[in-house]
Structure 1
């Protein structure tokens, strides 16, 4: 494996010493240093995927195109690979990534595009896409009953124990945080928590793709671009 990575490093313009040194450091980071002498075809699929990512980034490219780079990994290894990709982004690389993992999109991507059956259903920054699919809502921890109002719509109101409830309120276009909170307090609602939140990318993914992604993922993709 080490010799293979060194070979690719030389193809990318590194001298043998630099390619070998970089490869050893990378293998140490991804937990494969003890397998440096192992042939690639003797590694597991996940281990091979780590090596492929290393070969891809070893000459610090300005453009990275990645297709589900963390697919099949456990949370620990997913976080590790996300850190490595994020390092490339912070170093100035443009990263184009296809993924179904919304955590990765929210952490790594500056802009996203949702594709279904070859058509774009949304494009923009993460915030712009969230705004298009519901925008801002308010999470209100309270007791008692939240009355109807022209300033908001009660999306949900769930009991969380000890008489407390958490409600999600969708504000009217002209109603900001102060207006909604003043309305609740004026109505005598005991409010103990009030936070602003946006529609999650996971929820947006479900709205766009629905159950299609359970059966056939070839036509359902979310691509992210980080610069």
Structure 2
């Protein structure tokens, strides 16, 4: 049975008369990557803040390793908040070493780790620059380094790739994958569905503070998505609305949406019976982005 690192049960949060999270329950298991999804204002960041005891829940239970989060856990948990905060008048290396020492590392250990990290993320030449002279993307790399400097068992990241260009977004995703492979448990908030597809094991999608999707990534696709058939062919694609709806993507390449209770094999047999020459016939699931638009629209 998986070991729970985070266990949230019947959690609600109100600000005055405004309930921003309503009766939310989910769990995060040891060693997995868990994505928390939703539009702006859906309650994602509020949920994380209540989990980390920054805010008090209105009702419900939010546990980390079986107990309410407390300061003694801070060395085991790395948190990258939505609002980034760095000492901008200090040098990059001094800032990183300072936070490393706060997290229980000695100065030389923190310095070596920081220099290695800055090299890995491509900004080693900025080590002696003041933080305020860095671009926002470079500052974000420094902030992430501070978050993971002591190799925490649990990482909680609020929009970790926000503002990064595609190259640096990929770099960060690779870094998180490396941490996952080393056994870290990772929770991240994101709007980038391709990041979820690449990295996450399971997900929770919320809308107006309520759960709308929860489960394994592939499970969610199968449960909430409609299978599509991509077919490449020569000739004219026959229409048959009893079996499928068709949408031609480009010449001789189309997407077919099977009607309810119609199997892909039945469609294939029909197309062959119409003497259509099929070059490629592939059953696919919709992307998470398509599902997100469908269920949150």
3-state DSSP of counterpart to 2:261: coil
Aligned in 2, Cα 1:149/1:116: closer, same or farther, shift over 3 Å? closer
* CA deviations over 1:129-188 (Å, ceiling 9, x no partner): 2123323221111231324165x3124234x23xx2323232643624x43322221232
* 18, 26, 33: which one aligns with 2:117: 26
- Partner of 2:170, secondary structure, is helix
Asked if residue 119 in structure 1 is aligned to residue 206 in structure 2, the reply is no
Structure having the higher helix fraction is 1
Distance 1:185 1:172, change over 3 A: farther
Moved over 6 A (4+): none
1:204: Cα distance to partner? 1.4
- Mark the runs of 5 or more structure 2 residues left unpaired by the alignment: 1-91
8 Å Cα contact 2:202/2:215 also seen in 1: yes
Separation (CA, whole Å) in 2 of partners of 1:174 and 1:147: 15
Shift of residue 81 of structure 1? Answer: 0.8
Distance 1:28 1:145 in 2: 54
Aligned length: 205
Summarize the alignment of residues 41-80 of structure 1 with structure 2, pairs less than 5 Å apart: 41-80=132-171
- TM-score, normalisation: structure 1: 0.83
Aligned to 2:198: 107
Alignment match of 1:175 (pick from 249, 255, 263) = 263
The separation in 1 between residues aligned to 2:151 and 2:115, in whole angstroms, is 16
Q: Deviations over 1:53-111 (max 9, x none)?
A: 01111111111111110011111111111111111111111111110001100001001
Distance in 1, Cα, partners of 2:159 & 2:246: 33
Gaps of 5+ in 1: 211-227
Among residues 243, 253, 256, which one is paired with 1:165 in the alignment? 253
1:200 & 1:87 partners in 2: Cα distance? Answer: 24
TM-score of the superposed pair, with normalisation by structure 2: 0.65
Aligned-pair Cα RMSD in Å: 1.8
| Equivalent residue number for residue 209 of structure 1 | 296
Contact 1:9 1:58 in 2 (8 A): yes
88 and 186 in structure 1: CA distance in 2 versus 1, 3 angstrom threshold: same
